[in-house]
Structure 1
Amino acid sequence: MTGVFSLLPDGRHGLLPQSPGSAAGSSSYEDSSRYLAAGGYAPASAPGTLLDRIGAAGLRGRGGAGFPAAVKLRAVRDAPGTPVVVANGEEGEPGSVKDRWLLRYRPHLVLDGLRLAAAVTGAGRGCVYLSDAQAEQAVLRALAERPAGLRVDVVRTPHSYVAGEESAVVRRIDGGPALPTAKPPRPFERGVGGAPTLVANVETLARVALLHSRPEAAAEVVGAHLVTLSGSDGRSALAEVPAGTRLDALADAWGHGKAEAVLLGGLFGGLHGAGWADLPLDLEGLRAAGGALGCGALYFLHPGDCPVGVASEATAYLAAQSARQCGVCVSGTGALAGALSAVARGTADPGTPDRLRRWSGQLPGRGACGLLDAAARIAASLLTHFPDRLDEHRDCPGCAGAAAPEDGRRFLVAVP
C-alpha cells in the first residue's frame, strides 16, 4: 500500500487531510479530543433541517448501490415503530479498504454520523456492524470516549462477501447467520428486532457528519469518493477524489498509467478494455458505460495481464462465496465460474462463449443478493470488451492448465 492520498479540488496531490471537508486523514487513530476540536459532535440541527440538507446536497450511499441517502432516511423515519440505525462496516469486496480504514482511524466521524442519523429518524438504538478486529477495538475505544448519548452496540460478524448485504446485516444482529433473506420486507420496513432499520455504509455516515459540521463545504463533501486503487504490480492506495475524475488521471497518479484495462467497483462493475481511460468516476457515467462504481474499488490490468484469467479468478471467488441459499445462485455462479475456468485453461468447447452470453443475460436479478449479478456482469463484460481473447486463449502462457484460486487473493488489498 503506497499510502492515503487526495485529489480534492482545493488540495494538491498528496497526503491527507487537505481540507475540512475531507473524510480521510492520516493513518493514526483520531481520538475524541482531536475530533471535538475540529467541530465534531456539534449539537444536532432540527431533524427536518438536517434531512433537507442531506437531500439538497444530493448525498448518495457509498456501499455500492448509490441510493439517495435522504430517501432512505425518510423511509425509516416515516415507518411505524421506533427505528434502529446501523453503521455497516463489513466490506465484502476483497479489493476495498475504505470502510475498515474509517473505522480504524476515524471512528468518531462514523459514530457522529450514526448519532445524526438517529436524530433524523428518531431511532432509539444504534449498532456498528463489522468483522475487522482492529476496527472493533477502535470503535470500542471511541465509544468509551464520546459524549453520552445514543445507545450503540458493536456486532462482529465472520467475514464473507455477502455478510454486508443489508438483510444479512439484520439477520446477524438478530442472532442469526450473516446471510441474505428474501425481500420484501426490506430493513426499512422491518429490520432489527422487527423495527424499521437504517443500514447505512460507514462512509455514507461519515459524510452525513461532515455535512452537519461543514455545511459550507457541502459540494466537496458530497462530490468526493473514497476509492481503493490496486493492480497486478502490487501498487495500491486509498484515495479521496472528486466525482467525475477520469480514470486515466487516477491511474497516472498512482503508478498504473500503463494499464490496459480496469475491473470496476470491486467485483461488481465488470471489466472495461478500450476506452476505459476516458471513463469518469461517477455513478451515472459508469452506469452509462455499462459498468458500476460499486464500493469504489478499481483494479488495473497491466500489460501482460490476461483479462480471461482475471475474470476466471473473480467468478471462482464469487462462486465460492455464494451463501448457498438460492439454487439459481449456486448453479449460476458455478456454471459461469466453470465455463470461464475452462476458457482460461484452454479446454473450453466452441459453444462456451454462446453459453456465457446466454447465462450473463438470463441470471441477473434472480438471486437474493447481488453476488450472482456480479458474476454475470463479469462474464458479460469480458464478452463485450475482449471477445477475441476467448477465441485466442488456448495459447495464453499465463493461464494454460492453471486452476483459478477461490480465495480472491489477486484482488486483496491491505488497509494502509
Structure 2
Amino acid sequence: MSTTIIEPAAPAGTRRLLLSVPELSSHAGHFGPIPVISDGAAVLDAVTAAGLLGRGGAGFPAARKLAAVAAGRRAVVVANGAEGEPASSKDAVLLARAPHLVLDGLGIAADVVGARECHFYAPAAALDGIRRALDERRACGYDRRSVRLTASPESFLSGEKTAVINRIAGLPAVPGDQLVSTSQSGLRGRPTLVHNVETLAHLALITRYGPRWFRTAGTPDEPGTMLVTLSGTAATGVVEVPLGIPLLDLLTRHGRTDPRTVRAILVGGYHGTWIPAAALHRAALSTAALRPLHATPGAGVIRVLPRTECGLHASADILTYLAAQSARRCGPCRHGLPTLATTFTPLAHGHPADPREIARLATLVDGRGACAHPDATARLIRSTLDVFAHDVTRHLHGHCEVTDTTPGARS
C-alpha cells in the first residue's frame, strides 16, 4: 500500500482507540502524521483483509461500503456520531477522547472514494470539540481539509443513515427512502458514504498499521476491538474490548459485577435482545456467538438487569419510549408501535393482557415499515416474552417475582 511510513510503534494489546487524547500534538506523538493516500485501491485491499465491520450497529463490512461509493462519481463522505440510542455513550466518549483519530479516518475515507465534500454529523456539544480539533489541524498544517458540521437532534432515529442525509440536506432527521442505496444516491443524489465515527477511527489505525496488526485482537471472523457502553453494572461507562470476549468476563472484569446478581442483560441497546443470566456462560460479544441467542452486538450496548428489577417493567419503559420516537411516516410506526405499547404495558403492571395478542401485534409490524425501527422493536418484544416467560405467568396472576406483590404496586 502506497502510504507514508509511520515511525511510532503500533499500539499493543486491546487499548487502541482510547489511547488517543484530544490534543493534536499528543495525537501525532502517539500515531504519527495522517497517512498520505496515493493508492485508494490498496487501502481498500487492506481494509478488506482486516475484516473491519461497521461499528454503528449493523455490522456491515466497511470495505464493501467504501468500494460501493468509490465506484460512483462526485462522492460525499459523512462521519456519523449522532448516537441516538439512550443506552449508548461510546461515540460521545470517542469524540471527546480521540477527535483527531476520527478526523484522520474521515480524511482517509474521502481520499479512498475520491470525495471532496466531507461532513461531520453529531450532537452540538460534540461538535464544539470537533470544531476545535479542525482549527488545530488547519493552524499547524496537519490537515487543511474542509469539513462541514451539522448538529444532530436528540432523537432515537437521528443516526439512521437516511435520517443523517436528510438532516444535512436541511430536512427533518427522519428516515427516508430505503429503495435505493445511499452508496449510489444519497446527499443531493450523489454517492454517499455514511460511516460511524468508531468505524472511521479503526480505519485510521488500519491504514497506519495494517490488517495483520488489526487482527491481533478479536476473532478470525470478527477481528479488532469494540467500544462497549456498560450500564446497570457496578462499574459503568465505556470500555474497549476485543470482539469475542465472553460476556461473563465483560461483566466481571470490566463491569465489576457478580453474575449471581444478574437477572438478564440487554445486548444491542433498545433495538436489542434480552439474554437470560442462565445463558451468559455460553455467550460472547460477537455476531457468531450471539446468533443462537437471536442477538447481535449492535453498537456495543450492554445493559444489565439486576435481580432487583423486573424485566417486564424495564421492557415496557423501553417500548413506550420507542413508540414515541417513531417517525410516524408509515403504518407500523404511526399505528402499530403505539398499539403494541398500550397492549404490552398493562401486562407489566399486572392488568389483564393477552401475551398471544402482544406476539401477534409484534408480527404485524415486523418487516412492514419504511425502516428497521418497527422490526427491531418487535424483536425486543418477542425477546421479552421469551426470556421473561415466567414473569409473564406471574404477572397474569397478579404477582411480580421482584416485589412478591401485585405488579401494579410499582407503577
Alignment TM-score > 0.5, same fold: yes
Other-structure match for 1:171: 166
Write the deviation string for residues 307-352 of structure 1: whole angstroms up to 9, x where unpaired: 1111111101101111111121122211221122110111123xx2
Q: Which residue of 2 aligns with 1:369?
A: 371
Give 4+ residue runs of structure 1 displaced > 3 Å after superposition. Answer: 17-21
Query: Letter of the aligned partner of 1:53 in structure 2?
Result: A
Give, as a single letter, the amino acid of the residue that structure 1 aligns with 2:317: E
Residue equivalent to 1:3: none
Cα deviation digits, residues 7-65 of structure 1 (max 9, x gap):
xxxxxxxxxx8658601137xx5211111222241222510111100001110000000
Three-state SS of the structure 1 residue aligned to 2:17 is: coil
Question: Structure 2 residue aligned with 1:25, among 19, 23, 34?
Answer: 19
Q: TM-score, normalised by structure 1?
A: 0.87
| CA apart distance, 1:401 | 5.2
1:285 paired residue number: 289
Residue 132 of structure 2 is matched in structure 1 by 141
2:58 matched residue in structure 1: 65
Question: Given residue 78 of structure 2, which amino acid in structure 1 is its aligned partner?
Answer: V
Q: Distance in 2 between matches of 1:197 and 1:34?
A: 32
Answering whether residue 333 of structure 2 is matched by residue 329 of structure 1, we say yes
Q: Alpha-carbon deviation of 1:158?
A: 1.4
Work out whether 1:190 is the aligned partner of 2:185: yes
1:74 corresponds to which of 58, 67, 79: 67
Change (3 A) 1:44 1:314: same
Structure 2 counterpart of 1:269, from 269, 272, 279 = 272
Matched residue, 1:246: 246
Q: Which residue in 2 is equivalent to 1:406?
A: none
Residue 5 of structure 2 is matched in structure 1 by none
Give the corresponding residue for 1:395.
399
In the aligned structure 2, how far is the partner of 1:132 from the partner of 1:78? 33
SS of the counterpart of 2:230?
Answer: strand
Aligned-partner SS, 2:19: coil
The residue aligned with 2:306 is 302
Aligned to 1:83: 75
From the two aligned structures, give the one with the greater helix fraction: 2
Q: TM-score, normalised by structure 2?
A: 0.88
In structure 1, distance between residues paired with 2:247 and 2:237: 14
In the TM superposition, what is the alpha-carbon distance from 1:148 to its structure 2 partner? 3.2
Question: 1:359, CA displacement in angstroms?
Answer: 2.5
- Cα-Cα RMSD: 1.9
Q: 1:339-354 counterparts in 2 under 5 A? A: 339-349=343-353, 352-354=354-356
Q: In the TM superposition, what is the alpha-carbon distance from 1:179 to its structure 2 partner?
A: 0.5
Cross-structure match for 2:8 = none
Residues 34-43 or 112-121, more deviating: 34-43
Flag the 1:335–1:277 CA change in 2: closer, same or farther, 3 A.
farther
Q: Deviations over 1:46-91 (max 9, x none)?
A: 1011110000111000000000000011000112x21000000000
User: In structure 2, what is the Cα distance between the partners aligned to 1:220 and 1:30?
Assistant: 26
Q: Name which structure has the greater RCO, CA cutoff 8 Å, separation 6+.
A: 1
Moved more, 316-325 or 33-42: 33-42
- AA aligned opposite 1:262: I
The residue aligned with 1:109 is: 101
User: Does the CA-based 8 Å contact 1:20-1:214 persist in structure 2?
Assistant: no
Structure 2 counterpart of 1:356, from 358, 365, 369: 358
| 2:342 aligned residue | 338
Are positions 1:218 and 2:214 aligned together?
A: yes
Q: In structure 1, what residue type is equivalent to 2:65?
A: K
Residue 388 of structure 1 and its aligned partner are, at CA, apart by: 1.8
Residue 189 of structure 1 and its aligned partner are, at CA, apart by: 1.4
Letter in 2 for 1:400: G
288 and 132 in structure 1: CA distance in 2 versus 1, 3 angstrom threshold:
farther
Consecutive unaligned residues of structure 2, counting only runs of 5 or more, are 1-10, 218-222
Equivalent position to 2:46, from 50, 53, 67 = 53
Structure 1 Cα separation of the partners of residues 45 and 295 of structure 2: 30
> What secondary structure is seen at the aligned counterpart in 2 of 1:256?
coil
Match of 1:206 among 201, 210, 213: 201
Q: Report the counterpart of residue 6 of structure 1 in structure 2.
A: none
Identical-pair percentage:
38
**What is the aligned partner in structure 2 of residue 94 from structure 1?**
86
Query: Which position in structure 2 is the counterpart of 1:121?
Result: 113
Q: What secondary structure is seen at the aligned counterpart in 1 of 2:361?
A: helix
Moved more, 300-309 or 251-260: 251-260
The secondary structure found in structure 2 opposite 1:249 is helix
What is the rounded CA distance, in whole Å, between the counterparts of 2:269 and 2:310 in structure 1? 17
Could you list the runs of 5+ residues in structure 1 that have no partner in the other structure? Answer: 1-16, 404-416
